[in-house]
Each structure stands twice: as structure tokens, then as C-alpha cells.
Structure 1
Amino acid sequence: MQDGLKRLALVMGGLARIALWIAGGGLVLMTVFVFAQVFVRYVMNDSLHWAEPAAVMIMAWFIFLGAAVGVREGYHLSFDVLLYFLPKAVAPWLHTISDFFVAAFGFGMAWYGWSLAARAANDLMPGLGISRGFEFAPLISGGTLLVLFSIERVLRRAAGLHTARFGEDAPEEPETTTTGA
């Protein structure tokens, strides 16, 4: 079972890496579009009618993809004060409950994003001339990745594997003792 989960972690790590590359490329592309718009507006006294809506759409992609990878990697926002007061044996249970809530939230993102995309599919985005349904693709993709990555975290924790970074097993950190001087 652990070998299967390790393969799953490698696949999910690859998926996370692809999502990060897309997000990083989107950040660069958005920056180029905004720079081009500013240059054309203030230097050439004209406007690129497609630059702003394209930049906003690209921003949605890197936000939702980056957030999903952040959940997988354990970098998402959390409130850990309770973990300091409870026994260490309770922490995996609380993390698992948190992962189930994140998965439910991701499912809602994907489900309602799909519903919104279906409703907006016949309308066109001003400036880009493409279906408004594409506006919700980052929401659907990010929600789907949240579900996948959260389930992976729960499965790996249940099998006794540490949450990995990009599909590699994280080594167990040795406990250190401090001496008073």
C-alpha cells in the first residue's frame, strides 16, 4: 500500500509542479501584459483593449493554482494554536479534519464554478471575444486540485507517510534536546 501511495505522491508532485510552472508563467505573462498596456497608454497614447481582461484572467489562474499547491505543501493559512496545547497524538486527527474541510471547499469551488461557467458560456468577454465560461476555468481547476491534493494528504497520513514536497518523502526530523546553561 505504501508503494502505491508513494507512486501517487510522485504523480501528485508532478501535477503540483506543472501547476506551479503554469502559475509562474502566468505571473510573468500578466506582468508583460500590464507593462504593455501602460507603455501603449502613456507613451503611444493608445490602449490595448484586451490587456486588462487577459491580465485579470491570468491572475485568477495563478492564484487558484498556487493556492492548491500551497494546500498540498502545507503552506496554506492555518490556525495552529490548539495544536500547541493538545497532545501530539491529536494533531494528525485535526490535520485530517482540516483536509476534509479543504476538500469539501474545493469540491464546492469546482461544482459551483462549473455551474457558473455553464450559465455564462453563451456570453462573450468584452475585449477578448471569448466565452465568459472561460472566466471560471481557474475556479474549476483550482477546486479540483484542492480536492485531489487534500485526499492525497489524508491517504498519506493514514498510511503513516509524511506529507511530501513535490512527491518526495519528507525525512523525519530528529527531536533535539536543549540544555540549560
Structure 2
Amino acid sequence: MIARLARLSDRVFTLAEWLLVLALGIMVVMVFGNVVLRYAFNSGITVTDEVSRLLFVWLTFLGAVVVLRQGGHLGFDLVTAALPRAGKQVCRVISGLLILVCCAVLLRGSWEQAALNMGNLAPVSGVPLGWTYASAVVAGVGLGLLTIADLVAALMGHEPPEHHAAGEAGA
């Protein structure tokens, strides 16, 4: 059962990474194309700015979830590195609980904003502005689930997973 969940998790995060690549590619093509149109032909595509902004917000929030899974967020471990194993575990649990509180605040606020703004449409593209806030809903859920999984592992006495920086051998 756990192996199936791990494989499903891997597939979901592979899909998320591909969505990030796709969003960034679309943004680059749209913005570059619009710049060329503006400077070379004195025209442009007006929807480009709104769609690029929406994709950038989604890129940021979805990227935060992917990076958390890879262990790529900045951390300060000067104090915890000096602690014995039990102290490290206590700090890990406290940190996880604080992160869950932040995720709950993010999730509640973004859910309310997404619901409130689904009726407000972007002026050019007509996309409901609630979709912008929905990115924070997805991030709140994703970050929360990853944190809960880490808390369960910490409470079971498992060490945190070893993460490798991008570009290192074995990454």
C-alpha cells in the first residue's frame, strides 16, 4: 500500500514538474513574441500580459510545493545541527506544526479569496480572477500534505530524507 502511494506521489510530482516547464515555456514564448511584435511591428497581443501574470503566480505556488518535496527551500540548521538526535526530532516536529498552522492560514484565506473572485473577470482575457487565488489553495494543500507526511515520519522516528541539490551526482 505504501509503495503504491509512493509511486502515485512520484507520478503526481512528475506531472507537476512538467506543468511548471510547460507554464514557463508558454510565458517565455508569449512575452518574447509580444516584445517582438511591439518593437518590430508596433502592435501586440493584449491578452499576453494577463495570461503571463496568471501563469507566473501558478508557477510560483506550484513550484514551492515541488521544491519542498525536493528539500530545496532555504533552511537554517546551525542550532539543530548541534543538538542530539532527540532534540533534532523535537525541533522537526515543532517546525512541522508551525508550518501546518501557516498552511491552514494560507488555505483559509486563499479559499475565501478564490470563492469571492470567481465572479470577477480579468478585463482582457475574461479569466475569473479566482483562478489566481486557487494557486494558493493548491499550494496550501500540497505543502500541508507534505508536512503531515514528514511529521508522521518524524513521530515514527524516521530520519528526514536526504536531499541533493540540483546538479549533484545522484540527484
Q: Same fold (TM over 0.5)?
A: yes
Q: 1:52 to 1:71 in 2, by over 3 A?
A: same
Q: Which position in structure 2 is the counterpart of 1:144?
A: 141
State whether residues 110 and 139 of structure 1, in contact with CA within 8 Å, keep that contact through their aligned partners in structure 2: yes
1:6-43 deviations in whole A, cap 9, x for unaligned? 44333333322222221121111111111111111111
Q: 1:86 Cα shift? A: 1.6
Alignment-derived partner of residue 82 in structure 2:
85
> Shift in Å at residue 61 of structure 1?
1.1
Find out whether 1:43 has 2:40 as its counterpart: yes
TM score, norm. by length of structure 1: 0.80
Cα deviation for residue 96 of structure 1 reads: 2.2
Judged with a 3 Å threshold, the aligned counterparts in structure 2 of structure 1 residues 72 and 26 are, in CA distance, closer, same or farther, namely same
TM-score, length-normalised on structure 2? 0.84
Count of aligned pairs between the two proteins: 163
Amino acid at match of 1:13: D
Alignment equivalent of 2:131, drawn from 130, 134, 156: 134
Structure 2 counterpart of 1:110, from 107, 110, 116: 107
Aligned equivalents of 1:62 and 1:165: distance in 2? 25
Give the match for residue 18 of structure 1.
Answer: 15
RMSD of aligned Cα (Å): 2.1
Contact 1:72–1:153 at 8 Å: present in 2 too?
no
For the Cα contact (< 8 Å) 1:109–1:143, is it kept in 2? yes
Cα shift readout 1:100-131 (whole Å, capped 9, x = no counterpart): 22222222222211101121122110221121
Determine helix, strand or coil for the equivalent of 2:101.
helix
Aligned equivalent of 1:57: 54
Distance 1:52 1:129 in 2: 13
Greater relative contact order structure (CA < 8 Å, 6+ sep): 1
Unmatched 5+ stretches in structure 1? 167-181
1-side partners of 2:162 and 2:36: how far apart?
A: 40
Secondary structure, aligned partner of 1:21:
helix
Structure 2 stretches lacking a partner, 5+ long: 164-171
